[in-house]
Structure 1
Amino acid sequence: MSPDEIRAIELLRRVPYGRLATSVRAMPFVAPARHVVAGGRVLLRMHAGLAHHEACDGSVVAYGADNFGSGSERVWSVQFSGTARVVEPTAEELAAFGPGPELVDGEPFVPVHLRIAPRFVTVHALDYAGGAAGTRPAARPAGRHLHHAA
């Protein structure tokens, strides 16, 4: 594994959820997912009732996670891109996820799992620690984008 891949996996382990992105009929969509890292691959748990896994199975997807809402002076974002496959996780992997939600959009949660073998990994970090102690720009309204971090 490259240093970026090792760092990305280390950061991903710090948060339980991220966003899965792909396209359906040339239209992009983003869906929330719970993740764990197992064997250098990203394993996702999603709700089968939304059928997002069907659109992703065998397709190239991107999965990203971040700590944007944490209030930390060190803000980071990671993204893994690769082919997703619907899989049956091992008992150990299932245990790592912990309990799932009871309901998703008002219907009973039915788990389905996708595994992503990362082909491309990106890590971005914004460090506000160099400014005045404890200062960080206030959160902006929805629609704020972090395009590129140095």
Structure 2
Amino acid sequence: MPSDDQRAVDQRAVDRLAVDLLARTDYGRIATSMRALPFLAFARHIVSDGRVLLRLPRSCGYHRACGGSVVAYGSDNLSSARPGEALWSVQVVGACSPYEPTAAETERFGAAPRRVDGEPYEPVYLSVEPQFGTVHSTDGGLERHFEHMP
């Protein structure tokens, strides 16, 4: 049976892996609650200094429910895995706050859509400070690929 120290080291490795995998994708889903009801919203993301930075459409108003709350943010390779490649999904949970990206970070987000749900697109940015992560994969693919991680 693993000791508490081993579980802590293992969880830190999972936390790092979760953020590393998010860095491989461009879009994901943020989950929290609004007026006591759960919701999911799509977001563009980048990883910067261990934080997950999000760009959402202001017109949806989801940023108001997310900022100042604990959120879950996740992504996967379900639609981008090559034939025979292991599938994975990842999520991080952490405190979310409004964020003002640097010019370099804004550039990393790339071009924004012109419209969302018929409304002109106006971006709003959030930062998620991951507190813990989870990673799930098929066929042990990630375990074999990342077994060199400390």
TM-score range relative to shorter protein: 0.7 to 0.9
- Sequence identity, in percent? 51
Q: Equivalent residue for 2:90? A: 78
**TM-aligned CA deviation for residue 29 of structure 1:** 0.3
Amino acid aligned to 2:58: A
> In 2, Cα distance between the equivalents of 1:23 and 1:90?
28
Q: Calculate the TM-score normalised by the size of structure 1.
A: 0.81
Higher normalized helix content (fraction of residues)? 2
RMSD of equivalent CA atoms: 1.6
Q: Which runs of 5+ in 2 are unaligned?
A: 1-8, 142-150
SS across alignment from 1:69? coil
* Residue 126 (structure 1) aligned with residue 138 (structure 2): yes
Amino acid aligned to 1:44: L
Q: Which runs of 5+ in 1 are unaligned?
A: 130-150
Higher relative contact order (CA 8 A, sep 6+): 2
Are 2:19 and 2:92, in contact at CA under 8 Å, matched by a contact in 1? no
Deviations 1:15-64 (A, max 9, x none): 10000000012100000000000010000000001110001110111000
Deviates more, 1:63-72 or 1:26-35: 63-72
- Which consecutive aligned stretches of 4+ in structure 1 deviate over 6 angstroms post-superposition? none
Alignment of 1:52-131 (within 5 A): 52-72=62-82, 73-127=85-139
Q: Calculate the TM-score normalised by the size of structure 2.
A: 0.81
> In 1, Cα distance between the equivalents of 2:76 and 2:50?
18
